[in-house]
Amino acid sequence: MLIVVVSLQAQESFKPMSDIPGFKVRLETMSKSTLSIACDFVQEKNLVVLSEKIISKGVFFFRKENKIRWEYTQPYRYLIIISNGRLYTRDDKNQKVYDIESNKMFQEMNRFISGCIQGDILKNERDYATEYFESSTRYLVKLVPREEKMRQMLNEVNIWFDKNDLTVSGLKMVESGEDYTKIIFLNKKLNTEIPLEKFTF
């Protein structure tokens, strides 16, 4: 599956977006009408200190307002839940709960993740220098943080949107140097019923 995704992306050619205002209007409409998202994901993490990329797989759930569940299933099990102002993590050995409201970094992370998934992050262009591109099948938005503190965590963010439904198909977060995390979203289901239990600790 990952080989097919990488192969398709390698063949993809992007050019400057022809209708940026139209894209923003369609994206805002999609964001308002999307109440939930359920999908699979493949994550590729590239670290300069390692010779091989780290590939992980799992399932992702999103439900308004700001309820997120990342569940890694391969090659290890790890769970992240963001809900009701708290961030919860669990692996085979430990579990932790953090108060998002008391930590500015967690607040920014929550805003960033929710904004990327729904496209709301493009409303905060004062926080990012933004470039817009498109291919025959997808849109690509490149974001470079303006604030120095944010740039210490992220050099650049790339978000890919499917042209058909404006949902996020991929996300790449470039950290310092050549380190990055890329996530490809697959088998997306919109506005399906997701039990609240998915977002409880």
Beta bridge partners of 131: 142
Give tens-digit pLDDT for 41-67. 999 999 888 878 899 999 999 998 779
8 A C-beta contact, residue 18 and residue 30: no
pLDDT higher for 37 or 125? 37
Q: Provide the whole-model pTM.
A: 0.86
Confidence of residue 191 (pLDDT cuts 50, 70, 90): very high
Domains of the chain (ranges, CATH numbers) = 14-199 (2.50.20.10)
What is the structure's pLDDT at 73? 96
User: How far, in Å, CA of 4 to CA of 18, rounded?
Assistant: 28
The DSSP string of 118-165 is: HSGGGGGTTTEEEEEEE-SSEEEEEEEE-SHHHHTT-SEEEEEEETTT
pLDDT higher for 84 or 9? 84
The DSSP string of 13-30 is: --EE-S-HHHHHHHHHHH
Confidence of residue 114 (pLDDT cuts 50, 70, 90): confident
Confidence of residue 8 (pLDDT cuts 50, 70, 90): very low
Angle of CA points 26, 7, 3, to nearest 5° = 110
